[in-house]
Amino acid sequence: MRRITLSLDRDALVVMLILGITALLAIASSTLSARPGHGTVAGAALDAAGDAVRMGGTTEQRPSPRLATTSEGGLILRPVSSGAVATDVPATRLGTDIVANVSGQTARVTVTQAFRNTSEQWMEATYLYPLPDDGAVDTLKMVVGDRIFDGKIKPREEAREIYEEAKANGQKAGLVEQHRPNVFRNSIANVGPGETVLVQIEFQAPIAQVAGDYSLRMPLVVGPRYIAGSANANGTLSRASLLAGSADLIAPTADPNMVARAGGGLNPVSITVNLDPGFAPEAISSPYHAVSVRGSGSTRTVTLADGAVPANRDFELRWSASGDAPMLGLFKQRHGELEYVMATITPPALERVGEAPPREMIFVIDNSGSMAGESMPAARRSLLYALETLRPQDRFNVIRFDDTMTELFASAVQASDSNIAAAKTFTHNLMANGGTEMLPALRAALRDRAPDERVRQVIFLTDGALSNEADMMEEINRNRKDSRVFMVGIGSAPNTYLMRRMAEAGRGTFTHVGMGEEAEDQMQRLLDRLSLPVATGLTANVEGGNIDFAPRDLPDLYAGEPLVLLGRTRHLEGTLTVSGMIEGVRWTRSIDLKDASDSDVVAKLWASRRIAEVEAERWSGETSHERADTSIEELGMAFHLVTSRTSLVAVDDTPSRPDGASLTREELPLLLPAGWDFDHLFGGRVANAADWQRLADAMGEEERQRLELPNTSTGYLLTLALGLLLFLAGSLGGLWWRERLADGLASRSLRQAAV
């Protein structure tokens, strides 16, 4: 009887053990997949994204891009019903030609996009494309055959209504809308079979200047954006928030195999720069494209050496001044009843007397999935170089983020050899995976405060491939306190709008690291500037006149950075005096405004700058969303600019699509930015808790004791599950051993009884 009872208990325990192991494995799996901070898009929001781009009854909708995340929360985008990745060669082919005329400190740029319908259907084509975030788009022309239609600026909703009505009536129509200050969308309706429609936009932008180095940067592609969760929604987006802006950034990405089938004819771009900076330019170069340079003296013509190239990385042209760089530029323009002025003044670059004061440097590095490929090595090399520059009197910390976050140390620590060694090991082992939830990392960086009067500098290394830029600005405006925020844009197509605005809001500056081999050089240039005295407390006053300046709050300036003042007044007169403090010494520069040269770009640059200020006031809570929208719309209408509240629309009065002919809408695919890893981004392995554990395991025992990684990825349930598995395994082993012992004793008793 004893043996029968024991056998029944064993069978029951085995069954229970199997069920328990199955349940525990399920717990472990769900724990690995449910990573904190993971941004998702709900099914209703996915439907909303499709609804946002689906037009009326005459339109046959091609699959629209959808967002999705893996069960482990790592990928930015994944094909859903073939939406996020375009695998078929588009019926509407696109070619782009860019001509930039650089005159002095500004550029007037004409972008011509040719939409050619290669199908037998009537098409509506839309294309998402970037422009410089500090540019001012003011002109639209639509060319059909030998006819030219000029675009008119309208309030955003009215422009969309005009376009939709023309589309429904079979008329050709063009619409230019702004979704971010650096992201625009062209929509072209009723392009007939075999037809080509040209859309030409024009904008002007200031030339970037640091000391004697000048540059013009033309973004050519919008990289896939991670749709970040809002702080109040636990990392998820509601339908309303998706429709409010994030859906505007969704566009299909061209599959590399499809690009190969297209024979290199997908989204080609040609570029010409007519360079006349007002002095003889030297060291003309383009770091990311081969160029040919013709001309002499103060004028040059720069073209792409290889002709048309794929629109898959930003174009940048650099040049320098021969001898000493000009320290002053002064231009004026009359617009309506007012006069506008632009003054560019560069404070003297003084050498620091004595050693720079101790610093607290917080490095924040992006290791999300969009950094896979060439960007992650460039970011690692930049950070490793920065760590080498730390001194024993400095303090530092390193924060890495994807859709989770890890702070290397609990708070900033002394820059000792051992702590720097731990940071280097941490940096070497960073892998690119997951979504781009930057907001928690920004909060952590601004929260950690120095216990003394150290200069506090927060340096971000990121491509900025996210959708919630406004959340970043708001956080900096509210909580920056004594911190200064510096941005390092990584990769071939960084989100320059995010870089510039975060740096401005954080009283810092920004730079680009586009290629891995320039990582150390660009980081050195940035850190050298940060180690020099800063021009602070800047003021601008006009004696004998009254000018409304933008920006109203003048920024601190680092070595070689110019102060660009844009102002307006009824009568341009008087003397402009700019003053500030450099290393405790008062610095002053006065300019007679009557010496200003005529220009045709100043008024719209003033309006563009004022719009940026209104947006900043919105982020900081100084003005309401309604008042900000009203002000932006008024400025857009008054200066004929495309803004978040105004659009350009052009309509051909003559209907061209026959009655009864259907219209097919096609979202033209974007090329993946050069250096990005397509397989990793759209279908590769995703990091999980074990990745960060392997990072700790890769370190020596001594370093592991110093570096205790927070459990931002591994949940306690997983640890509990593994412990219970070991416990149950031990219990089963004990049961098996006890039963074998009992069997042995029983056999021995039977043998003894037989004897």
Distance CA 339, CA 333 (A): 6
Q: Considering the chain, what is the average pLDDT of its residues?
A: 79
Distance CA 325, CA 280 (A): 11
Residue 700: pLDDT over 80: no
Q: In what order do the strands lie in the sheet with 171-180?
A: 59-61, 663-667, 122-130, 183-191, 171-180, 646-655, 152-155
Query: Residue 663 carries which DSSP code?
Result: E
Check residue 491 and give left, alpha or beta (phi > 0: left; psi -120 to 50: alpha).
Answer: left
Higher pLDDT, 49 or 576: 576
pLDDT in tens, 630-675: 999 999 999 999 999 999 999 999 999 999 999 999 999 999 999 8
Q: What is the per-residue pLDDT for 22?
A: 54
List, as one string, the DSSP characters of 39-54: -EE-HHHHHHHHHHH-
Q: Which of 301-305, 507-511, 610-614, 730-734 shows the lowest per-residue confidence on average (mean pLDDT)?
A: 730-734
Cα first-last separation, the chain: 24
How much is the average pLDDT of 410-416?
A: 94
Is the preceding omega at residue 224 within 30 degrees of 0, hence cis?
Answer: no
Contact between 332 and 339 (Cβ < 8 Å): yes
How much is the average pLDDT of 358-387?
A: 93
Q: What is the per-residue pLDDT for 505?
A: 87
| Paired strand residues for 490 | 513
Domain ranges of the chain: 2-34+713-754, 359-531
Q: What is the per-residue pLDDT for 304?
A: 97
Q: Which of 180-184, 301-305, 704-708 shows the lowest per-residue confidence on average (mean pLDDT)?
A: 704-708
Q: Which amino acid is at 701?
A: E
pLDDT in tens, 100-110: 999 988 999 99
Q: Which residue has the tokens 């070991």?
A: 726
Residue 453: pLDDT over 50: yes
Domain at 359-531: CATH architecture: 3-Layer(aba) Sandwich (3.40)
Please list, in sequence order, all residues whose beta carbon lies within 8 angstroms of the beta carbon of residue 560, skipping any fewer than 6 positions away. Answer: 210, 211, 212, 213, 346, 349, 529
How much is the average pLDDT of 746-750?
A: 43
**Helix count and strand count (H, E) for the chain:** 17, 39
> Is pTM beyond 0.95 here?
no
Q: Which of 165-174, 247-256, 698-707 shows the lowest per-residue confidence on average (mean pLDDT)?
A: 698-707
Is the preceding omega at residue 268 within 30 degrees of 0, hence cis?
Answer: no
pLDDT in tens, 521-537: 888 888 888 887 788 88
Q: Which amino acid is at 6?
A: L
Q: How confident is the model at residue 245 (pLDDT cuts 50, 70, 90)?
A: low
Distance CA 564, CA 377 (A): 35
Distance CA 522, CA 309 (A): 25
Q: Which of 58-67, 205-214, 653-662 shows the lowest per-residue confidence on average (mean pLDDT)?
A: 58-67
Question: Six-digit token pair at 568?
Answer: 């307006």
Instruction: Give percent of the chain above pLDDT 70.
Output: 75
